[in-house]
Amino acid sequence: MRKKIVAGNWKMNMDYQEGISLFSEVANMVKDEVIGNQLVIVCSPFIHLHSIASLAKDNNNVFVGAQNIHQEEAGAYTGEISAKQARSTGAEYVILGHSERRAYFGESDELLAKKVNGALAHGLSPIFCIGETKEERESGQFFEVIKSQLEKGVFHLSASDFSKVVLAYEPVWAIGTGLTASPEQAQEVHAFIRKEIAAKYGAAVADDTSILYGGSCNPKNAPDLFSQTDIDGGLIGGASLKSRDFTDIVKVFN
Ligand code: PEP
């Protein structure tokens, strides 16, 4: 049965001390609230990873993820962090393909495919983000855009590697804007994504793949979004910075 996942993306927020207290609050609040096949993942800045992964060790439901890695194994890349380094902190996931990295740091599909390979080679599961811009939605091109992001970013993987990937549909126009895709709009795209996975890897793999929705998700809209057949949880930006909001979203599955 595919996992129900609520993942927080803190982005470039929280100093070291603030991050440790937020994580501790979240971990405590969700300890007894997580159902059998549910995971909570917190993707923090690199500075927090080792400490929060240590705090998460005794908690079977809460996991830690990075927000980026460099595509190379090691070397003269000042300021960068490799997959192996991120994994050595205790992190088990990494967000790749986020629209902010695609837009502000020029990350191409080809580069992202390399990062996906690097992550998997070092035991990190990618939370791979795909989604269309406002213009692409309005011109009706969004299915093609999403199909191409899947084909170039993750469909080169073997079925066994692909089974370690979590997908996140994040319409760019909904991220941090307060605009949310309606449950119907999101479900339409999630069903499309699952159909594409089935065509590539077969129905069983498609059925096992967790596909998260991201884009201004909050405790109010999460119940309707998460009740859709093909929405398996959320990737949460702004609302993951408040322990109460984030844990209220986690509790939607109870
Ligand atoms: C995100 O950045 O992945 C995201 C979904 O942000 P927000 O929830 O703030 O829209």
What does the pLDDT read at residue 74? 97
Q: How far apart are CA 56 and CA 215, in angstroms?
A: 26
Residues 236-242, mean pLDDT to the nearest whole number? 98
Closest CA to 176 of 241, 248, 81: 241
Residues 21-32, mean pLDDT to the nearest whole number? 92
Residue 34 has pLDDT above 80, yes or no: no
Residue 135 has pLDDT above 90, yes or no: yes
Residue 209 has pLDDT above 90, yes or no: yes
Residues 91-95, mean pLDDT to the nearest whole number? 98
What does the pLDDT read at residue 87? 98
Position in ligand 1 atom list of the atom nearest CA 174: 10
Burial of 145 (0-12, 13-18, 19+ CB in 10 A): middle
What does the pLDDT read at residue 224? 97
Give the mutation target among 10, 170, 242, 245 for probing the ligand 1 site: most ligand atoms within 8 A of CB. Answer: 170
How close is the Cα of 237 to the center of ligand 1, in Å?
Answer: 3
So which residues are the catalytic ones? 98, 170
How close is the Cα of 219 to the center of ligand 1, in Å?
Answer: 13
Residue 79 has pLDDT above 80, yes or no: yes
Give the CA distances from residue 78 to residues 34, 74, 82, in Å, rounded to whole numbers and listed in that order: 40, 10, 11
CB 53 within 8 A of CB 91: yes
Half-sphere exposure of 215 (CA within 13 A, CB side): 25
Amino acid at 45: P
Number of residues that make up the chain: 254
Residue 36 has pLDDT above 90, yes or no: no
pLDDT tier for residue 107 given thresholds of 50, 70 and 90: very high
Looking at ligand 1, which residue's alpha carbon is closest to its atom 3?
237
Mean pLDDT of the chain: 96
What does the pLDDT read at residue 204? 97
Each residue's pLDDT tens digit, 158-208: 999 999 999 999 999 999 898 899 999 999 999 999 999 999 999 999 999
Phi and psi angles of residue 50, each rounded to the nearest 5 degrees, phi first: -65, -45
Looking at ligand 1, which residue's alpha carbon is closest to its atom 4?
237
Q: What percentage of the chain reaches a pLDDT higher than 70?
A: 100
